């Protein structure tokens, strides 16, 4: 008999998922990382929130940390295209100001906190050193950027070089540029950026669940049948 509920459930669900989906799950898992993560502070436009999640999925970023202070984090299904179900989205919304809690949690997880900013005196994206350790990239609201609180708590400051009249990119464009650059450099480096075996196991089960129709009904029947 299998040792845990999760192992037994995996065994039960696997025959319900076609081989092509299983192969895709393994391929995507092999390219997932938690070495870089993204924190979104108070994003209020669903199309931007959705585009950032879609970008994270496309570049293999597994975790997104969502801070809700004044604004709720809502998605646009036509933009997001189901990306959220393949990501680990962590929300911080219990307090009036949830930014310190989110940053504190990221620090506990070993991340250096990196604030994105348009100001010229800060580090350019091409000079960002991934070898210094795991990085949490903070992105702020569409109009004002990151809050003073987030800026004050950051360990490092990162800018995308620009030469036009406009001061900054749209948040979803900024996320795409930054993650493309970091993703490219990370994967050609000697850094151990891949998920650990336990992480792979847990995410695999969640993705298998996401791939099975009527999973809530099926899992309820599984528990009844096997006494869980």
Q: What is the pLDDT of residues 159-194, one digit of tens each?
A: 999 989 988 899 999 999 999 999 999 999 999 999
| The pLDDT value given to residue 118 | 83
* pLDDT of 3 over the 80 cut: no
DSSP bridge pairs for 36: 135
Residue 115 in contact with residue 156, Cβ under 8 Å? yes
| The pLDDT value given to residue 180 | 98
| The pLDDT value given to residue 142 | 77
Residue-wise pLDDT tens digits, 119-129: 767 899 999 99
- Kindly state whether residue 138 falls inside one of the protein's structural domains: yes
Q: Is 114 helix (H, G, I), strand (E, B) or coil?
A: strand
**Residue 91's domain spans which residues?**
33-217
Token pair, residue 162, equals 């620009």
- Kindly state whether residue 228 falls inside one of the protein's structural domains: no
Q: Is 21 helix (H, G, I), strand (E, B) or coil?
A: helix
How many other C-beta atoms can be found within 10 angstroms of the C-beta atom of residue 106? 22
| The pLDDT value given to residue 121 | 76
- Kindly state whether residue 20 falls inside one of the protein's structural domains: no
- Kindly state whether residue 125 falls inside one of the protein's structural domains: yes
| The pLDDT value given to residue 1 | 43
- Kindly state whether residue 120 falls inside one of the protein's structural domains: yes
Q: What CATH number should be reported for the domain holding residue 112?
A: 3.40.1280.10
Cα–Cα distance for residue pair 140/221, rounded to 1 Å: 44
Q: Is 145 helix (H, G, I), strand (E, B) or coil?
A: strand
| The pLDDT value given to residue 91 | 96
Looking at residues 72-88, what average pLDDT do you find?
94
Looking at residues 137-165, what average pLDDT do you find?
93
* pLDDT of 41 over the 60 cut: yes
The H-assigned helical ranges of 109-170 are 148-153
Residue-wise pLDDT tens digits, 82-115: 999 999 999 999 989 999 999 999 999 999 999 9
**Domain count across the chain:** 1
- Kindly state whether residue 26 falls inside one of the protein's structural domains: no
- Kindly state whether residue 22 falls inside one of the protein's structural domains: no
Cα–Cα distance for residue pair 188/202, rounded to 1 Å: 26
* DSSP per-residue codes, 202-225: HHHHHHHHHHSTTHHHHHHHHHHH
pTM: 0.93
- Mean pLDDT score across all residues of the chain: 94
The H-assigned helical ranges of the chain are 5-13, 19-29, 46-58, 77-80, 99-108, 148-153, 171-187, 197-211, 215-226
- Kindly state whether residue 177 falls inside one of the protein's structural domains: yes
* pLDDT of 42 over the 50 cut: yes
């Amino acid at each position: 008999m299998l040792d845990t509920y999760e192992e037994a459930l995996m065994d039960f669900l696997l025959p319900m998922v076609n081989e092509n989906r299983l192969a895709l799950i393994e391929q995507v898992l092999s390219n997932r990382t938690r070495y870089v993560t993204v924190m979104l502070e108070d994003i209020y436009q669903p199309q931007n929130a959705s585009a950032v999640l879609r970008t994270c999925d496309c570049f293999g970023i597994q975790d997104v940390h969502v801070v809700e202070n004044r604004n709720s984090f809502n998605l646009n299904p036509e933009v997001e295209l189901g990306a959220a179900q393949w990501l680990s989205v962590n929300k911080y919304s219990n307090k009036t100001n949830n930014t310190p809690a989110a940053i504190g949690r990221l620090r506990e997880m070993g991340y250096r906190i990196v604030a994105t900013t348009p100001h010229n005196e800060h580090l350019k994206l091409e000079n960002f050193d991934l070898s210094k350790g795991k990085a949490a990239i903070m992105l702020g609201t569409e109009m004002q950027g990151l809050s003073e609180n987030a800026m004050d708590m950051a360990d490092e400051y990162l800018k995308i070089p620009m030469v036009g009249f406009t001061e900054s990119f749209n948040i979803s464009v900024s996320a795409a540029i930054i993650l493309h650059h970091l993703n490219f450099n990370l994967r050609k480096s000697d850094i151990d950026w891949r998920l650990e075996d336990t992480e792979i196991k847990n995410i695999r089960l969640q993705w298998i669940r996401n791939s099975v129709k009527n999973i809530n009904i099926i899992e309820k029947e599984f528990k009844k049948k096997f006494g869980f």
